[in-house]
Amino acid sequence: MKPTERSFARRIDLMSLQLFVAVCELGSIGRAAEREFIAASAVSKRLSELEAAVDTPLLYRHSRGVTLTPAGESLLHHARAVLFGLERMQGELSEYADGVRGHVRMHANISAIVQFLPEDLGAFSRRHPQIKIDLQEHLSADVLQAVREGAADLGLCHAACDGAAGHGGTQPDLQTRFYRADRLVLVMPQAHALSARAAVRFDDMLDWDIVGLHANSSISLAMRQAAAAAGRPLRQRIQVTGLDAMCRMIDNGLGVGLLPDRAFALMRGVGRLHAVPLDEPWARRELRLVARDFGTLPMTARLLVAHLAPPAAAAAPAAEVAAAVS
């Protein structure tokens, strides 16, 4: 390390970085002081010292709070990475105290949470009771962003999502591993005109009102792309956030909708519904584990990865997709 680099490292203290991040997240020195249980004047002094250390303004101060300067934006990115690295270091070191213990932060989309994770995480927790899993449900794009920013150790989303290395993404900064496969089915009331068919094409459902999930969900995005390619409007009249609400809407005659096959099997008791396989290439999907670097994950996260996506599974996505649609 050069003398100038060593001097810079000595001028930056971790407490100031933590307070800087808190101020950025809350947009106010006062609110950050309340959250961190420290006087506002002390926070302000720390920020001034931090600006002196980097020799540039980091915040615009105004009557409504603070906003970041361009330099502040850059420091916020690096500060979060430093604090995340320290948290990970603490977690790994604590694992040596009394066996492997700690927690794993995971974000997953609704398809993974409804279809597969309850059983898989339950089995993992029984095998490793000292490891706690912090799981949050998010849209697939938000899952990728959380992993990219270090807000989650692991993500679970569909392979077609932008940003996953090796799977058509434009930002090859994330690694993925095959987890599970599913297939989309068209869900409708039992007496619906399409219920007698063995399979339906996407064009068939465009004649009907559609009940869908959030506009940015992977299924909604796929439907919009397919409708645009077909040159036809998508009559998505109703959008809900949960699969059970979606099934209840369909049961009451408000439209038809696409669901993953296993999710529909689990929701079958919600109303008098029938499902027909969707005969489109994009109806067969892969769920994949996502990480910034699987090799540098904490031991607790690596154990979870080995449980959810063992090495043998990486070579078998095609076989599992075939099993899912048979």
pLDDT at 276 over 50: yes
How high is the pLDDT of residue 170?
39
Residues in the chain: 326
pLDDT above 90 for 1: no
Confidence of residue 316 (pLDDT cuts 50, 70, 90): very low
Tell the burial category of 233 from Cβ atoms under 10 Å away from its Cβ (0-12, 13-18, 19+): exposed
What band does 5 get if pLDDT is binned at 50, 70 and 90?
low
pTM of the model: 0.63
The number of beta carbons lying within 10 Å of the beta carbon of residue 28 is 17
pLDDT tens digits for range 39-86: 999 999 999 989 988 889 999 998 888 999 999 999 998 888 888 888
Q: Identify residue 176 by its one-letter amino acid code.
A: T
Torsion of the alpha carbons at 168, 170, 174 and 177, rounded to the nearest 10: 0
pLDDT of residue 214: 81
The three-state DSSP-derived secondary structure of the chain is CCHHHHHHHHHCCHHHHHHHHHHHHHCCHHHHHHHHCCCHHHHHHHHHHHHHHHCCCCEEEECCEEEECHHHHHHHHHHHHHHHHHHHHHHHHHCCCCCCCEEEEEEECHHHHHHCHHHHHHHHHHHCCCEEEEEEECCHHHHHHHHHHCCCCEEEEECCCCCCCCCCCCCCCCEEEEEEEEEEEEEEECCCCCCCCCCECHHHHCCCCEEECCCCCHHHHHHHHHHHHHCCCCCEEEECCCHHHHHHHHHCCCCEEEEEHHHHHHHCCCCCEEEEEECCHHHEEEEEEEECCHHHCCHHHHHHHHHHCCHHHHCCHHHHHHHHHC
Q: Which residues of 155-166 are buried (b: 16+ CB within 10 A; e: fewer)?
A: bbbbbbbebbee
Residue 288's CB is within 10 A of a number of other CB atoms, namely: 26
Look at residue 18 and tell me whether its pLDDT is greater than 70: yes
Residue 149 has pLDDT above 70, yes or no: yes
Per-residue pLDDT tens digits for 160-212:
654 444 333 434 689 999 999 999 999 999 999 999 999 999 999 999 999 99
